[in-house]
A and B are shown apart, each in its own frame.
Chain A
Amino acid sequence: MTQDDLDTETVNKIIQATYSAMRKKDEQNLTKDKTISMIKTFVEQVTQNGTKKD
């Protein structure tokens, strides 16, 4: 798989959102389950709303 199939902006958004969630996990003592759910929701939002390159 190469990044050509994907939207770079979306990839970067996911990376930053994931780090943001990880920081929130540390700061607010969130569970891993809750953190995964947060990131999952974000990934679904940014990848399933027409941001894919076709």
Chain B
Amino acid sequence: MELRKINLQNFRQFKNTTVEFSTDVNKNVTVILGDNTFGKTTFVKAFIWCLYRQNTFKDNKILLNHDVQVQMRPGESKETKVVLTLMHNGFDYLITTREEYTKSQNGNITTSKRAQSSMLKGCTGNPENMKPIPPDAVSNEINNILREELKDYFFFDGEDNSIEKISMRGNLKDAVSNLLGLQRLEDFANYFSPNIDSVRTRIADGLEKKDDGVTTLLNDDLLRNKGECQKAKDQVKKAEEEIDKLSKELQDKNDIISANKGVMNQQEEKKEKLDDNIKLKEAIENDFSNTVLSVNTTDVLLRSLYAASFNKYDLLNKLSSSSYKSETSLTHISTSAVDDIIKRGYCICGAKIESGNEAYKHLIESKEHMEPNDYGKYASDFSDSEHYNFRNSKVDLYTLSNNLTGILEKIGNVDQNNKRIKDITNLIVGCPEIGEIQQRANDISAEIAKQENYRDFYLYTNIPELEKKIQKNNADISAASVNNEKNNQIKNSLKYCDYIYLAASSQLQVSKNKVRNNLQDEVTKAFNKMYSGKRIIRIDEDFRVSTKLQGFENENIDDSGGLSAVTNFAFVAGLISLAKSKMTLSIDFSDNTPIDENYPLIMDAPFSKTDEKHIKNVCSILPIYCNQLIIAIMNKDYQEAEPALNVRVGKIYRFIKKSETESDIEAI
């Protein structure tokens, strides 16, 4: 495909803008300079809309120019239109896509005719002989020029489809298979497959079979195995669709995570503060509960108050100097007990007691040192006890005070946390919840791995087993069929079908490995010209590209955004280079019809994440790999790119921003 010219009419901010692209082989670069909001992204999206009628604008789905919308009268209709002129495979094409809008009585603009494409086609060099293609065949024609699923590998709008995302796209495996001819070989093999509706199975249907039980059983077995095989293939397809869907979702999540790393840190800090507050509040409740319990169980306050009062009134000294404080006091015995002993006439020790004898006198004298005549011992014990209380109450109060201080500190920490949480909340208001997105990304990765295992089981275990059974069924049925001339001819056809199927399947397996190795070689060549460092390129079985540090090939090392951009530029260059030479991949199964393998690259702000040195390297390499390079680029990036790109620039334009609703493009 060679892009010649594009014309945008009432398409977003472009009222009537035409750009012709350089088709000079040696000067195959067209540059359009413009800063942000000048219309670079719109310009690239115009190609996608014209070719595939895909409106990928996020903010406003109405494509009609805003000024035109304002000027329209109620009931009036206007159309937006993009006309693309290109050459492909020896034919000129004029593709026009238009959409009509109508203004309602209340001033609303609605789509009155959905986007439709028309096409004129003619042999190159005979513009007057271009003929219209029937409307229902236009999409098919466009897909023959460039399949829709491949568009993301050639049109980079810098938003949904930036160069950095190219090797992580969900449909990468299918796209590379398509681009490098593997899909065509697989489609070819399937025409001779014994397992699905194919040339082979339809020829086999013509076999005249014996009407016996054995043939019936063989046919039943064949049908059952074919049914199971088809179900297994459906499961593979389902798993691959799910993997594609999940991969896209994962890419979206990773983009959000990557774009919100600052927010993620703040959200993590907020979560830490919230968790900290939960722990602090639990600790406060526990500390307070323990303190109250301690006050209750030890009567610490009451004892302290009592001891303080005891001390305050100097009761210790007063008691010490009191007659009650006596060492001769007898406790736990009263004068009544002594009276009873005297009355009894003999002592506990057995001494006889008579009025006036020594024992009697001793007992009478002892009565002076016991209750109710003498409480000295009680007073002494009480004095000691309160003295002890007074000393220890200071410790108790100190402990109580410490506990309460600790609680107050924790309350202070909660307040500080709350203040920080409030600040962070204000900072990140409206931002996505990155923690949840990260969790979802982890879940998606696990689900993708599960689906891949599921797919691989069917693909490499279940289906091959069933295919072997089907082959045996076919051989048995063929052997058990009627032996006549017609059947012999059919069996001869089947031999060819089976040989071609086996050879094509085998070629497909060989080609898959060869394509991966060749792609790795081509990308490596381009990468080595663009990047100077100790990195090597790896392409995995799903054609995903990554770089490894030399000497650490088995370790995953994070790529910087800049390295990732250079890697993906190299990947696209290698892919295009290999696509040009895909015809040499298969020898026995080559499709000899010449096919246009020219691929243009159309890019919006491709170097926004590439440093100065690598911009120069990429710019000197890309025009060599692709046939046509059309880049909408910011002035500051072009200053870096110009020295390397200048020699290849065939046409140069600049965006002119006339107003917020009108831009134009003019040649420099």
Contact = CB atoms under 8 A, between A and B. Distances in A.
User: Are A and B interaction partners?
Assistant: yes
B568 to A, nearest CB: 30
A1 B503 CA distance: 10
A48 B493 contact: yes
B496 A43 contact: yes
Nearest to B485: A48
Given A22-B184, A39-B199, A44-B203, A3 B493 contact: no
Interface in A30-49: 35-37, 39-40, 43-44, 47-48
Q: Chain A contact residues: over half helix, strand or loop, or mixed?
A: helix
Contacts of B500: 11, 14-15
Contacts of B499: 1, 3, 5-6, 11
Contacts of A10: 496
A48 to B, nearest CB: 4
Interface in B470-527: 489-490, 492-493, 495-500, 502-503
Contact of B188 (A5, A18, A36): A18
A6 B588 CA distance: 15
Contacts of B143: 26
Nearest to A13: B496
Contact of B493 (A19, A26, A43): A43
Nearest to A7: B496
A22 B519 CA distance: 26
A3 B500 CA distance: 9
B592 A16 contact: yes
A1 B144 contact: no
B187 A22 contact: yes
A6 B493 contact: no
B498 A1 contact: yes
B140 A6 contact: no
A36 B589 contact: no
B288 interface: no
A44 B490 CA distance: 8
Nearest to A25: B187
A16 B662 CA distance: 54
Nearest to A27: B144
Interface magnitude class on chain A? 20 to 34
B255 interface: no
A48 B593 contact: no
Residue of B199, B202, B495 with most chain A CB atoms under a 10 A cut-off: B199
Contacts of B202: 36-37, 40
Size category of the B interface is 20 to 34
Contacts of B18: none
B137 interface: yes
Dominant SS among interface residues on chain B: helix
B205 to A, nearest CB: 10
B187 A43 contact: no
Interface string B586-605: 00110111000000000000
A33 to B, nearest CB: 8
A1 to B, nearest CB: 5
Nearest to B188: A18
B380 interface: no
Contacts of A37: 202
Contact of B492 (A3, A16, A22, A48): A48
Contact of A1 (B136, B188, B502): B502
B588 to A, nearest CB: 7
Nearest to A41: B199
A49 to B, nearest CB: 9
B587 to A, nearest CB: 11
Chain B CB within 10 Å — which of A5, A27, A40, A52 has the most?
Answer: A40
A29 B586 CA distance: 26
B635 interface: no
Contacts of A40: 199, 202-203
A29 B199 contact: no
Given A6-B495, A18-B188, A43 B591 contact: no
Interface of B: 136-137, 140, 143-144, 184, 187-188, 191, 197-199, 202-203, 489-490, 492-493, 495-500, 502-503, 588-589, 591-593
Given A22-B591, A48-B492, 11 more contacts: A5-B499, A14-B496, A16-B592, A19-B591, A19-B592, A19-B593, A22-B191, A37-B202, A44-B203, A47-B493, A47-B495
22 contacts: A1-B499, A3-B499, A6-B495, A6-B496, A10-B496, A11-B500, A15-B500, A18-B188, A19-B592, A26-B140, A26-B144, A29-B137, A35-B191, A36-B191, A36-B197, A36-B198, A40-B199, A40-B202, A43-B497, A44-B203, A47-B496, A48-B492
Interface of A: 1, 3, 5-6, 10-11, 14-16, 18-20, 22-23, 26-27, 29, 35-37, 39-40, 43-44, 47-48, 52
9 closest A-B pairs by beta carbon, nearest first, are A48-B489, A19-B591, A47-B493, A29-B140, A40-B199, A39-B199, A47-B496, A52-B492, A40-B202
